[in-house]
Structure 1
């Protein structure tokens, strides 16, 4: 009878395919076919059959109001329906089942059900549950999708061990973008010792979160800055789990283990039309698992990133010098249990803790005493850093995968055992182990005097050597091959080149960077002798060409003009900066080539070239719908925030414009061209220059007029760029032919008249989010306000971009808005109006 019933249902929907369920529940008599969906009560989530693009059918859950569909759970991920017909129903045994066209079950909830009178319901949380028909108590759910996650963690879902069922729930990635089957990467909690979560494959571990310290995972300091999300970690007799909840109902957030191997958190505001990446891991090289080996620690703010603690030295000095720290560190001296000391390390990601001893009831002083008395104990720390600290974790093994953060970033205190002889090598000022402060003072004086003498001698020798090298350069340069000349130049520029055969220079400077050196002949062949057919574009300092290396890798080669007097300095600046920066919205520098008359930089290739080639081309601008434009704006903002705040260096770009934003295959934006950039100190906020560089139309008033630049100068440029992306029009720059308004003035007039939406590019006016566009226009005007102190910083910009619940102030008058507003001030500079093009980078000497 059951078979006949299913056949009848399938027959009905083959001939009546448009029947749709407007309910959230299925029963044995009301199943779901491929033409129907379940919708949760307030229409947040939707469940039904879907084809991800591989011609198979899956039962999945996605956000109903978000396009394109964002899938958060898949039932039959490894057993798809390969026919064109399928059905989701309640089987005779009360379980949820997915049937194919042959009425064979390809997936089932597989629970022991005492009573077949069950229903399956999709909840507003995104949880799909199996329950008794008249029992909605969550404690009595028979089965639920939240306990069977795929690649996504939603608010309320728990990751980790359920002690009652002994099931350790984890995320596993999709196989590929169009294949939801079980992929290569999983995000899973290790419950041994002090629990922590790992990203791993079947063959290796990729990333470790660090243990929970009461506030966050010790290796994820970014968790402390998330204001709209509350994290929870439970470790009790019932469970060891991690979960989160969103405090603002208008914000969606999800954590996904992507098929590419990165763990990514995305947020979505109801008025937005695109997911915004909030956080991802691994973020940098210090997130690499066991990057610095046993007893080594990683510091992304140092170079090289791998460091040995006091009392330790590199195990393999040669490899260490070559930036390979995987062999780690070894002790300088043998331990003597009775006299050993414990080295306090601040702001640390705790070592791998699966083999650690844990006592949550013990305080730190008791923990220290026990560790000291146990000769095998190598380190100890608090398990919880809240309310002054509590709990004890001790290691009696080698310490792996440690990382040190800047003081303001995160981490916690860790105490590592060292030999007393190594402890005494650098005594504390004012006291020593034997109480002889006089001896310490004498030692410090001796060290200081000796150090000064050595430094003086080294500086003198360095000066004499440089003079000698300069004299020899011209006489020897013609006798050297291109490769040798390149190395001489780069060494004089303070750049350490890493060759493909692992040959390393024995000379280093404080600015040493690892950067591959390309041979000029190689790049000539790759670009077909720099042919015009391979030319991607041309800027103020030369041309950019597409190239294909012998290995097949596609690259972009920036060839600086031989006649550019600023080329060498700009090249050196760009190499120093980009080689230290790592962010998905910054272009990646692959290497360089320097010869006597040639200066080239090699970048990753961007399939869609620069933003200006599409945005300002009427025939191409239609490719940029509003969703893509908002994605580009958000990406540029994230890249700029990284430069200003999150990178190890505070960097002012000084030449942000549409032609310096490159687009990859998927239209992801990447900021490029750091030749004009300047590095700021950690506490520096403003600087002055007599050499004003930048592009007309993007320069802030205080920079163009007085040579003052700061992060707010880049904010101004970003505001101009944002308004250009919205409108599809260029800002005309400083000068105004016939007293006409530039883009900023035009936008200001429309805003004050309540006609701001007229600014939107005609090519996208048929479909866009009005609220989102208005927010971008208002934010653009806030960024281009005349006074720097009125403009928001990039962290506020990103917050206002991604949230419609943040109150935005009304903008004030923009800088360089009307034709005559700055006419008198500018009249003394005597420039030809016809030469002030928006796409040209200019240098103005002796800026006021």
Structure 2
């Protein structure tokens, strides 16, 4: 299992506040006409688990939850209404459609939470709810009530992984089962940390922190089928408890699972992702009446005696099932295990070594770890001449960069005098002082950080008037930078439209380059539409309004703004959502201005994001309004399906999102393309019309694609049958084009995007 289970020094134990005496139900069954209210619970058959309403200590809100039932201070292992707490205990029952629901306790009318399963019509008034001895709440129907449930809480975990539960990832759809920490020890609302299978490397488990990225990762597992690790612990009854950790890959369903089981089912065991982001395995000890940790110490050992570098019968201890640490040094000149060991043994800075074949058939590699990054670097610096040359080169490059930057800064101030501070073109864009921006962002604190793109980090700021803003700071390490900063400043300052993000000001002081935007509380579109838990916030009505809003924004920059602009990087992460879920197009750093009579242009520097670029642009560097139309078509299909275009590239060597949707469309199965979370409640004719428009936008020949004016009219029209027939979309299959054969430009760059894949190759 490696170091999957982190260890903490202090165990945070919290208990639900149960201020009332329970009138316990006699069984684990919830049937039509019956309900669970403030003074009642469901109890699993052996009494191991209970379900009912609770209020955490120091909290005035109420939640429906499941907890261990036979121990003091019972820990909560699952919560239903995490995002919609109650002011008083509610009512839990089977709704009129057969789903498990939580209603407001006072009126018994307001829907607080629902299992929201797709049920057959025959299931109305025929479903049952069962609390199993595993802690699983099941919605059953028919003969196989528990074997093939309509819905189960194990598929929707909270912060706790019980034995038999699993976290998983569908490699084709990116749909996940994952844990989400509590906001605090007394607040069940979703916190900042989540644990699941890694999207980019589906062979490891990763803990992510909101607006931060990967926080902790497990070992990388061999997913050729099944991998299992067993660990034995001595439990209070002096017998060994064996935990079996399993990582499995199901080729039939394209899913990767992580789960664990226990040899003694009477043992109370739980794994918790706590509010601090630590994943802890806990065992209840009856003799001490406490929860104890079964984990691994993550700190570093301290050496009692100094090393003598192999002169005093020193050696190595073999350690298995560990995750390899970072900052390794590979010694390719060491051809055997003994050579590798000898090299590390006689170097006092060397802490550990490992031998591995990096690829099948490749020679053995000696991998070593030193006392720190500096030791690893110094290992290679054996020739003073090399060091001297490196220092001279670096100094020369640095001086050239400083001189170039100062020259650019002087020129850009002269060029932008009108657009930044008001002047020649009448544009008024306030200049902010660096001191006020530091105050607004608490000195660019990590707590204020919203995310990071190719330009650099973005922070939330509070201006003196209590106005919330997003502050985009150019990173000195950014692959983008000065050119994109100037471009965005010039363009977006002159654009005003309800579906474009609004630039409020800028700062160019003390070598800082900063843009200030209106704050978007619902983040970017990709954060919602591709997340299996967040996407429920986007019903079909909201999705259609987002599609319409993006279309209006693109139509504006193409036709109605003071400047005719080609965006060149339309994608889900560049669509921001305000408090009302209205879309705002952002990131004009790669946009280009067209003359009023200009129809297309050519560039030797292709910029954009793989999967959204039109074929003529990706392969030949030709771009026009129709390039943005192509990107918009991909966006439509992503919004309708809830699937990333890039996810198909990662897990299928040939299929793309457009190709997958097109095959279903041709077979008359277009409804199967629509995201399952909105399929039943959407307007079918409207959703199919959007798909049709999307196919028209992603045609291979730019001449076959509609203009944004036509797109907007088609979206507004009521008759889908009147739309033009679509040909097979471009890039419906992945193809490998030789660069020289198609004349791909020599310089290719891509915007940074944590959601999509960016590859400097045309497909």
TM range (shorter): 0.3 to 0.5
TM-score when scaled to structure 1?
0.39
Q: TM-score w.r.t. structure 2 length? A: 0.44
Larger Rg: 1
